[in-house]
Amino acid sequence: MLVAFSVAPSGTGRADGSVHDAVAAAVRVVRESGLPNHTGSMFTEIEGEWDEVMAVVKAATDAVAPFGSRVSLVLKADIRPGFTGEITAKVERLEAELTRH
């Protein structure tokens, strides 16, 4: 499965509204998991089996919790049994189609 998620604290009390330190804590958890992952400007994608991916999402959410009084989690999943490597393969298929036309 592929999961795209965004996790951030609220109630941080920071005047500038920045949450980069909390997001860094979450991304560190994802990268240390060893699962295929990619972080963009708004979401982190992770690929693996259901239980292992959800365990990483939970750990990343837990890593953000100390940074504010509450945590917001947005999650989107692509559940396609029997497929692996889709974190890059989906983009490769898209790019190949774009170059054809």
Q: Which domain holds residue 53?
A: 2-100
Residues 70-92: tens digit of each pLDDT: 999 999 999 999 999 999 999 99
Per-residue pLDDT, 45: 98
* Low-confidence stretches of the chain (pLDDT beneath 70): none
**CATH number, residue 96:** 3.30.70.930
Residue with tokens 């951030």: 8
Pick the closest to residue 67 from 32, 29, 17, 30 (CA basis).
Answer: 17
Task: Look at residue 82 in the predicted model and tell me its pLDDT.
Answer: 93
